[in-house]
Amino acid sequence: MTDKVLEVKNLTVHFYTYAGVVKAIENVSFDVYRGETFALVGETGCGKSVTARALTQLIESPGRIVEGEVYYHKNGESVDLLKLEEEEIRKYRGKEIAYIFQDPQSSLDPLYSVGFQVSEALYAHNKVKSIKEGIRKAVDILRTVLMPDPEKRVSNYPHELSGGMKQRVTIGIGISNDPKILIADEPTTALDVTVQAQILNLIKEMKRKYGATVLLITHDMGVVADMADRVAVMYAGKIVELADVFSIFKEPIHPYTEGLLKAVPNPLIKIERLETIPGTVPSLINPPSGCRFNPRCPLASQICRAKIPELEEVKNGHYVACHNR
Amino acid sequence: MGTMLPAITGDTMNFDSGYSKSNSELLMVKNLKKYFPLKGLLFTKGYVKAVDNVSFEIKKGETFGLVGESGCGKTTVGRTILRLIEPTDGQILYDGRDITKFKKNDMDWFRRKAQIMFQDPYSSLNPRQTVFQIVMEPVNHHGIDVDDPERFVIDLLEKVGLNEGHLYRYPHEFSGGQRQRIALARILSLKPEFVVLDEPTSALDVSVQANILNTLKDIQKELNLTYLFISHDLAIVKYMSHRLGVMYLGKLVEVGNSERIFEEPLHPYTKALFSAIPIPDPEIEKRKDKLEVKGEPPSPINPPSGCRFHPRCPFAKEICGQKEPALEKVEKDHFVSCWLY
Amino acid sequence: MQEIHEGQEGQKTGEEYQRSILDRISDFFIEVLVSLISTVKKGWREKNRSRVAEWKLMFYALNRSPPGVIGLFLVTIFVFLGIFGPFLAPYKYNYFPIFENGDTYLSPPGQFFPLGADHFGRDLVSLLLQGARTSLVISIIVIILGVPLGIVLGLVAGYFGGKIDELIMRITDMFLAFPPLILAIAFAAVLPERISYLINNNPLLQQLLLWLFALDTREAGNLSRLLAVMIAMAIVWWPGYARITRGSTLTERESLYVESARAIGLSSAKIMAKHILPNIIGPILVYVTLDFGSVVLTEAGLSFLGLGATPPIADWGRIVYDGSQFFPKAWWLIIFPGSIVLLDVLGWNLLGDSLRDVLDPKLRRSIEFKVKRKKGEKT
């Protein structure tokens, strides 16, 4: 498991709004290994989606990638994705690194048939010679994503499909160019649980079939438990804990991870009372000094307010950013 | 997956919320129907059978959970019970009186007893009213005398975890969780007996959600409230409710004691639903056998014949496509509508 | 349960902002107003802290839009002149110097009077000041007559929907289908006779109108034409308000707070008045402000066509009409009243446009942030 496919170092993204500079993510570093499912977890506004988008420079104004490197390793070579020009990075997007977004409704263009949209993705990376040929191939792709009746569905428009089917199409577009990395940003949040189960299974299936690496962004601890091999927990724009999925759930070290896990009800266990985290997520314009979790942390002491804790390895492969451990 | 559960002692009610003391029904819903007409250019083209022949009862002091996926009609049930939507057919007995036949005066009485908390805290509070006005409005409307309105509102705010300083603020100054607390204070101002909670935490983050759910539980215990808890999230429903109803496409497919249903779901849809929720524990989640159902819920405009779940059901038999199963008792306080039982 | 304090928001007071001189001026006026209200209603200040802070922010936002400041300035001046103009005027509008000195006939600016005189030898400055009153009163009355009617019809149509909506909106469409100016001309031509009967039989109404327009009792006979113009304009003015009110009502009707009001048993009338109206009044206010300009312009247009005010009543449109017979010799009779109308209409439009931004919560936040940034930003 030492084969790194993605190496993220000190990624920092700021949004320049009227209210001030929103420090959406600061000094985020992590590695993603080939073939694994790496999950970024956190609550609304913690910066997990921004991180995912920043990897291929998908940050739009007023946002800006202030600092950081994202090394993409392939066949012994490595490229810093953040140093590439728009023209060059486009060759990576979709082909090497594909995205699946939360809302299939808005990631598909309502004016074109789904077959055309899959075909367009193929054509953009020269996988097919013409759109027409692409539509023939789209049928196969829709079949791989277990779309019922793919021959008929290629000529359907997005509004004629259900939410689950639309998400299957976006996954189809995502895998159409055999990407090495699939970034799934809350892929099932807009879907019902039974459909969510189907889509999660499909992602696992695709991963097995194509050997892709999956970067999963979610707020749902259940989905993490189901899908992930390793997990990074984010809070207020920083990674607070990073470890394999079993350690995170079994022996969380950071007080935030601990609190988050206790706040999620487990349907298998009879819970008398859920534990809560006092306070709310801080503003990212003027985040608390030192550890950003300190105002809500039960263990906070002088040093937590004074010094920013670094992400350090405490056990084998288990990283935590906390002064108390 | 039932093996993971801690043993539960039979079907006796061992809840600590004063719930076992009174077992009389507060609300009985009988054959409730709500069809929404689909308007064509001139004539009605058909009906969306949002709620079709739903019957259940809620006992005093308990929380009845109503679960199902989007479009199953759970929200419509919640609103029809309060007559925010007029039912097409059926009876709704509150304290033994049929509220579907209520005229203005009786409705006023009912509105004081029954309240609703909405899903979206960002649109459920009037942005032009202060917290004080929001909380006092129901009291003023029903002409209830309050000696010291300010004190009255402050007491309510403190009860739901807010404070005096919030009295003359406007909703936009609060976070989502705090807004739900304001909504709760407004509801409590009338001292209701029955509250419909329509996905009260689905717009909130988990840590805030836990806070709100705990508050709701505390208030229920303190004021002996009866809840109808509507949600798509089974884990939350399990945490909140004593009894449970599972809805699919306008029908109630399984009703009963919540612990029992979680221990041993009977209806294939309930099983599928339970197996589909990801358990926040990788040791279990990664190893569990999943019962995956095919496809997605069909449209309630032309629901499938027979059992509405049969096209997706892994156990479907011939009869399932032909005849609709009735909601039958399988054990004490456990009903299921399926030809398998 | 007491440990819960999600969010430290809600501490919004004026203090955290970097205030400019304009902000201080507007703060001062607001404080004066608040003190006045507080002396009448005890404890008002404490209960409305958030509201006052909101008002201040609204002005901060307005102060940051130069067109808005110019608009507000112009509008303030014209409203001031509308109220006090007739008293500030050096000469009465019905004083005719021509009978004493024939040379005053169309005397150019500077000869007898600073802005010249009309064909009765009257001082143009005095006429313009008197005309400000005429214009302001007509605008206010047209708005007062037309807007509430449109709002009520729009609310009812939007809230109930169905057949009621159809009926109201088809009637509205009928009115909208007529060109407003032509409809107003038709009404203004037909109405005066009936109205003169009404006015002559209601001395109280007559006195009120004379007082409003700051006219001499002698002019009582000329009132009916002024009133006719106002009524004619009100009749063509409401459909626009019915439209926009209905549109906003349709969206607000679906909000959960409306459903929440129904859940506590509020009647439809109360829901419309207490919940929907306060939430849609913003866009309506913008529309009213912009419309003030349109009313001024339409009224001047009607007077120019010979409807409405009759001499000796001073009216900007009428002055231009009379002056047009002596153009280009007596250019001042066209240029000065024309410019005044231009400035007045411009003022209302500029103010309306920036009010649109200020009253839109999203746009306003972005303006507010500009204010905050100056202090908060360090990087």
**Digit-coded pLDDT (tens) for B240-261:** 999 999 999 999 999 999 989 9
pLDDT of residue C16: 52
Higher pLDDT, A101 or C5: A101
Beta bridge partners of A62: none
Q: Kindly state whether B270 is in contact with chain A, defined as any CB-CB distance less than 8 angstroms.
A: no
Pick the residue from chain A with its C-alpha nearest to B15: A272
Q: In what order do the strands lie in the sheet with A312-315?
A: A97-100, A181-185, A213-218, A37-41, A230-235, A238-244, A318-320, A312-315
Residue-by-residue DSSP string for C84-98: HHHHH-SS-TT--GG
Q: Containing H/E element for A14?
A: strand A4-17
Pick the residue from chain A with its C-alpha nearest to C7: A280
Structural domain includes residue A119: no
Pick the residue from chain A with its C-alpha nearest to B16: A272
Residue C162: band (very low, low, confident or very high) from pLDDT cuts 50, 70, 90: confident
* Contact residues, chain A, for C8 at CB < 8 Å: 280
What angle (nearest 5°) sits at the alpha carbon of residue C257, between those of residues C252 and C262? Answer: 100
Q: Kindly state whether B272 is in contact with chain A, defined as any CB-CB distance less than 8 angstroms.
A: yes
Which subunits sit against B, judged by 3+ Cβ pairs under 8 A?
A, C
Cβ-defined contact of C1 to B132 (cutoff 8 Å): no
Q: Kindly state whether C204 is in contact with chain B, defined as any CB-CB distance less than 8 angstroms.
A: no
pLDDT of residue C342: 92
User: Could you tell me the CA-to-CA distances from B137 to B26, B187, C212, C259, C270 in Å, in that order?
Assistant: 26, 10, 40, 14, 11
Chain A nearest-CA distance from C121, in A, is 58
* Contact residues, chain C, for A43 at CB < 8 Å: none
The overall average pLDDT reported for chain C is 82
Structural domain includes residue A259: yes
Does the pLDDT at position C6 exceed 50? Answer: no
Chain B nearest-CA distance from C79, in A, is 29
Does the pLDDT at position B37 exceed 90? Answer: no
The answer to whether B113 and B192 have CB atoms below 8 angstroms apart is: yes
Give the per-residue SS3 of A123-169. Answer: HHCCCCCCHHHHHHHHHHHHHHCCCCCHHHHCCCCHHHCCHHHHHHH
Does the pLDDT at position B6 exceed 50? Answer: no
d(CA B183, CA A317): 45
Cβ-defined contact of A263 to B207 (cutoff 8 Å): yes
Pick the residue from chain B with its C-alpha nearest to C8: B174
Chain C nearest-CA distance from A7, in A, is 29
What angle (nearest 5°) sits at the alpha carbon of residue C172, between those of residues C169 and C177? Answer: 125
Pick the residue from chain C with its C-alpha nearest to B39: C162
Instruction: Give me the percent of chain B exceeding a pLDDT of 90.
Output: 46
Cβ-defined contact of B124 to C260 (cutoff 8 Å): yes
Cβ-defined contact of B206 to A250 (cutoff 8 Å): no
d(CA B217, CA B201): 13
Structural domain includes residue A123: no
* Contact residues, chain B, for C263 at CB < 8 Å: 82, 84, 111, 115-116
Backbone angles phi, psi at B45, to 5 degrees: -85, -25
CA atoms within 13 A on the CB side of B49: 18
Structural domain includes residue A258: yes
Helices (H) and strands (E) in chain A, counts: 12, 12
Pick the residue from chain A with its C-alpha nearest to B282: A225
Cis-peptide into B278, omega within 30 deg: no
Q: Determine the residue among B124, B126, B170, B208 to mutate to test chain C binding: the one whose Cβ has the most chain C Cβ atoms within 10 Å.
A: B126
Q: Kindly state whether A159 is in contact with chain B, defined as any CB-CB distance less than 8 angstroms.
A: no
d(CA C55, CA C283): 17
Which candidate from B127, B167, B208 shows the least CB-CB separation from C279?
B127
Does the pLDDT at position C361 exceed 80? Answer: no
pLDDT of residue B245: 94
The answer to whether C71 and C349 have CB atoms below 8 angstroms apart is: yes
C325: helix, strand or coil: coil
Structural domain includes residue A120: no
Domains and CATH numbers, chain C: 1-63 (no CATH), 67-359 (1.10.3720.10)
pLDDT of residue B14: 41
Taking only Cα atoms into account, the Rg of chain A, rounded to an integer number of angstroms, comes to: 20
Pick the residue from chain A with its C-alpha nearest to B203: A44
Q: How far is CA B55 from the centre of its chain?
A: 14
Cβ-defined contact of C260 to B118 (cutoff 8 Å): yes
* Contact residues, chain B, for A277 at CB < 8 Å: 207, 210
Backbone angles phi, psi at B196, to 5 degrees: -90, 125
Which subunits sit against C, judged by 3+ Cβ pairs under 8 A?
A, B
d(CA A116, CA A134): 8
Q: In what order do the strands lie in the sheet with B243-248?
A: B114-117, B194-198, B226-231, B63-67, B243-248, B251-257, B334-336, B328-331
Q: How far is CA A214 from the centre of its chain?
A: 8
User: Could you tell me the CA-to-CA distances from C272 to A87, B125, B132, C159, C261 in Å, in that order?
Assistant: 55, 15, 20, 8, 10
The answer to whether B64 and B242 have CB atoms below 8 angstroms apart is: yes
Per-residue pLDDT tens digits for C168-181:
999 999 888 877 67
For residue B314 the two structure tokens come to: 């892994």
Helix ranges restricted to H, chain C: 21-40, 44-47, 49-63, 66-88, 124-160, 162-177, 180-201, 203-212, 223-253, 256-263, 268-270, 277-304, 316-324, 332-359, 361-376
Chain B nearest-CA distance from A21, in A, is 21
Pick out chain A residues at pLDDT < 70: 1-2, 18-19
d(CA A188, CA A103): 8
Pick the residue from chain B with its C-alpha nearest to C280: B128
Angle between the B176-188 and B206-223 helix axes, to the nearest 10 degrees? 10
Amino acid at A26: E
Cβ-defined contact of A265 to B284 (cutoff 8 Å): no
Residue A266 neighbours by CB distance under 10 Å: 22
Structural domain includes residue A235: yes
d(CA B251, CA B310): 13
Per-position b or e across B147-165, b if 16+ CB within 10 A of its CB: eeeeebbbebbebbbbeee
Does the pLDDT at position C7 exceed 70? Answer: no
Cβ-defined contact of B278 to A200 (cutoff 8 Å): yes
CA atoms within 13 A on the CB side of C280: 28
Beta bridge partners of B58: B27
Give the per-residue SS3 of B118-137. Answer: CCCCCCCCCCCCCHHHHHHH
Higher pLDDT, C310 or A215: A215
d(CA B73, CA B90): 15
pLDDT of residue B332: 87
Residue C108 neighbours by CB distance under 10 Å: 14
Cβ-defined contact of C373 to A278 (cutoff 8 Å): no
Chain C nearest-CA distance from B314, in A, is 39
d(CA A298, CA A103): 36
* Contact residues, chain B, for C46 at CB < 8 Å: 168
Chain B nearest-CA distance from A45, in A, is 10
Chain A nearest-CA distance from C149, in A, is 40
Residue-by-residue DSSP string for A28-86: EEEEEETT-EEEEE--TTSSHHHHHHHTTT-PPTTEEEEEEEEEEEETTEEEEGGGS-H
Which candidate from B238, B280, B290 shows the least CB-CB separation from A221?
B280
Q: Kindly state whether A223 is in contact with chain B, defined as any CB-CB distance less than 8 angstroms.
A: yes
Q: How far is CA B134 from the centre of its chain?
A: 24
Q: How far is CA A294 from the centre of its chain?
A: 26
Q: Kindly state whether B118 is in contact with chain C, defined as any CB-CB distance less than 8 angstroms.
A: yes
Q: Determine the residue among B16, B205, B299 to mutate to test chain A binding: the one whose Cβ has the most chain A Cβ atoms within 10 Å.
A: B205
Q: What's the domain count of chain A?
A: 1
Say how many CB pairs under 8 Å bridge B and C. Answer: 96
d(CA B28, CA A44): 39
Chain C nearest-CA distance from B261, in A, is 31
Which residue in the block uniquely carries the two structure tokens 């409003």? C212
Q: Which domain holds residue A304?
A: 4-111+157-266+275-315
A positions 67-126 inside 8 Å of B (CB): none
Q: Which of C116, C85, C123, C102 is nearest to C312 (CA)?
A: C123
Q: Which residues contact A196 (CB under 8 A, 6 or more apart)?
A: A188, A223, B276, B278
Chain A nearest-CA distance from C290, in A, is 28
Chain B nearest-CA distance from A35, in A, is 17
Higher pLDDT, B335 or C53: B335
Residue-by-residue DSSP string for C226-290: HHHHHHHHHHHHHHHHHHHHHHHHHHHHTSHHHHHHHHTT--HHHIIIIIIHHHHHHHHHHHHHH
Structural domain includes residue A301: yes
Per-position b or e across C41-73, b if 16+ CB within 10 A of its CB: eeebeebbbbbbbebbbbbbbbbbbeebbebbe
Which residue in the block uniquely carries the two structure tokens 């202090």? C375
pLDDT of residue B23: 63
Does the pLDDT at position C366 exceed 70? Answer: no
pLDDT of residue C357: 80
Cβ-defined contact of A265 to B235 (cutoff 8 Å): yes
Cβ-defined contact of A268 to B5 (cutoff 8 Å): yes
For residue A200 the two structure tokens come to: 């999660």
pTM: 0.82
Q: Kindly state whether B229 is in contact with chain A, defined as any CB-CB distance less than 8 angstroms.
A: no
Average pLDDT over residues B220-227: 93
Q: Kindly state whether C15 is in contact with chain A, defined as any CB-CB distance less than 8 angstroms.
A: no
Residues of A contacting chain C (CB within 8 angstroms): 17-21, 276, 278-280, 285-286
Structural domain includes residue A220: yes
Q: What is the CATH number of the domain that holds A183?
A: 3.40.50.300
Q: Which residues contact B241 (CB under 8 A, 6 or more apart)?
A: B62, B63, B64, B65, B227, B229, B258
Q: What is the ipTM of this complex?
A: 0.84
For residue A160 the two structure tokens come to: 């004629």
Cis-peptide into C328, omega within 30 deg: yes
Average pLDDT over residues C85-97: 83
